[in-house]
Amino acid sequence: MKYTEFTMKTIGVIFGGRSVEHDISIITGQFIIAALRAAPGFVPVPIYIARSGRWYSGESLADIVTFRRPDFEQHLESLRRPVIRTDGELSLSFPGLFGAGATRRIGVVFPALHGTNGEDGMLAGILSGAALPFVGCDITASAIAMDKALAKIVTERAGIPSTPYVFFTADEWAAERSRIEKEVALLRVPLFVKPVHLGSSIGITRIVAQTGLAQAVEVALHYDDKVIVEQGVPNVMEVNCAVLGNEEVRTSALEQPLAKAALLSFDDKYMRGGKGSKGGSGSMSGEKNSVKIPAPVDEKTAATIRELAVRAFRAIGGSGTARFDFLIDQESRSVYLNEINPLPGSLQQHLWKASGVSNIELVTTLIVLAEERFAEKNKRVTTFASSVLQQLG
């Protein structure tokens, strides 16, 4: 530890998690740590959630190499276990001299979890409960964004177009299969069958005829207990837009992900261009090869997409950042909101970089936004003097 660290802000970066996107989260976490190290005035503290759900912390977790160690599991056991207290402290115990443990207080938490048990609002819930300032969307916004059906319902109410869909639970599929099939038959093929909660294209099937439905639903139900069937967009082009802010929201440049198939598989999205294997500093290159920035859309469409992204961010009550994925019918120029990512992989840093926001500016802005929201929330009244108890005879 350097002496100057006494005056610096300690940021707990939480990554890993019980999710199929565990490894992607490690990459995002490492990226955030590297960016914070480069920024003046911050000490990032890595907090890793193992697949088992256990939390660990230690300097070695700030290096991607640690995760490739053959004795990784044993190594974890030698690390400290962070303790969350419910009065606004996330503290890490240190085995100190003479048995007197020292603690290190975390000022702001920077979640880097993707997918289930994290990005879906779970971590936001834990951190809100502990009264800690944290980066990114709160419980409600995360939960809505990570449930594709809920996201459609909420954004439709805000007048944001999305493609026709049908959603149902595993129980409903078992009990009312013919009703569901009838509803699905009203949609125009191709259809996309997706688990509602997962990102990263896992468990998604594209079907071109109703006959493929049953099998596709089985696949989706393997990952989730709720499934959504969406109508595809003809002449489709995918365009993503990220946003940054709380009340005042700025939008990034637009990017077009370049996938060969009409559907991005997990490997396409994360393994091509060496993103998965590159690691370390958050895959600086590589992923650039599979996107086009700016996306080849006319100015009017670009403005529409930006406007819709901001409106959708407000509709779900988002804060900090999120990425909105749109589908464009290149013939009719119609724009549909497809997906919301409350915590995009590596914070979509390459897109921000192309938009004039450096990695340092990105992470430090997010921390400032987290502190602002926290201060705002603390102004609200949460106690109310009531005489209810006295009145109980």
Residue number, 6 or 98, with CB nearest to another protein: 6
User: Is 263 an interacting residue with respect to another protein (CB under 8 A)?
Assistant: no
Residue number, 306 or 350, with CB nearest to another protein: 350
Taking CB under 8 A as the binding criterion, the range among 34-42, 57-65, 96-104, 264-272 that sits at the site for another protein is: 34-42
Residue number, 152 or 350, with CB nearest to another protein: 350
Contacts to another protein from residues 305-334, by CB under 8 A: none
- DSSP assignments along 221-254, one per residue: HHH-SEEEEEE--TTEEEEEEEEEESSSEEEEEE
User: Is 360 an interacting residue with respect to another protein (CB under 8 A)?
Assistant: yes
DSSP 8-state assignment for residue 293: S
- DSSP assignments along 275-293, one per residue: HHHH-TTT-SSSGGGGEES
User: Is 157 an interacting residue with respect to another protein (CB under 8 A)?
Assistant: no
Q: How far is CA 77 from the centre of its chain?
A: 28
- Could you tell me which residues come within 8 angstroms of residue 141 by beta carbon, excluding any fewer than 6 positions away? 121, 316, 317, 318, 319, 322, 342
Closest listed residue to residue 133, CA positions, set 376, 374, 375: 374
Residue number, 231 or 321, with CB nearest to another protein: 321
Contacts to another protein from residues 4-23, by CB under 8 A: 6
The secondary structure element, H or E, covering residue 348 is none
User: Is 350 an interacting residue with respect to another protein (CB under 8 A)?
Assistant: yes
Taking CB under 8 A as the binding criterion, the range among 2-10, 65-73, 145-153, 176-184 that sits at the site for another protein is: 2-10
Is the CB of residue 80 less than 8 Å from the CB of residue 45?
A: no
Taking CB under 8 A as the criterion, the residue among 11, 13, 26, 34 binding another protein is 34
Residue number, 119 or 287, with CB nearest to another protein: 287
User: Is 357 an interacting residue with respect to another protein (CB under 8 A)?
Assistant: yes
Closest listed residue to residue 217, CA positions, set 199, 196, 188, 190: 196
* Phi, psi (deg, nearest 5) at residue 248: -90, 125
Is the CB of residue 348 less than 8 Å from the CB of residue 252?
A: yes
Alpha-carbon gap, residue 282 to 324, rounded angstroms: 21
Alpha-carbon gap, residue 284 to 275, rounded angstroms: 9
Contacts to another protein from residues 265-304, by CB under 8 A: 281, 284-286, 288-289
Closest CB 166 distance from another protein, rounded Å: 41
β-pairing, 291-292 with 89-94? unpaired
Alpha-carbon gap, residue 124 to 316, rounded angstroms: 15
Residue number, 146 or 357, with CB nearest to another protein: 357
User: Is 64 an interacting residue with respect to another protein (CB under 8 A)?
Assistant: no
Residue number, 3 or 98, with CB nearest to another protein: 3
Taking CB under 8 A as the binding criterion, the range among 16-24, 43-51, 215-223, 353-361 that sits at the site for another protein is: 353-361
Interface size with another protein, residues (CB under 8 A): 24
Closest CB 276 distance from another protein, rounded Å: 17
Taking CB under 8 A as the binding criterion, the range among 71-79, 132-140, 220-228, 356-364 that sits at the site for another protein is: 356-364
Cβ neighbours of 54 (radius 10 Å)? 14
Closest CB 356 distance from another protein, rounded Å: 5
Q: Which amino acid is at 300?
A: K
Closest CB 256 distance from another protein, rounded Å: 16
Cβ neighbours of 221 (radius 10 Å)? 19
Q: Which residues bind another protein (CB under 8 A)?
A: 2-3, 6, 34-35, 37-40, 281, 284-286, 288-289, 350, 353-360
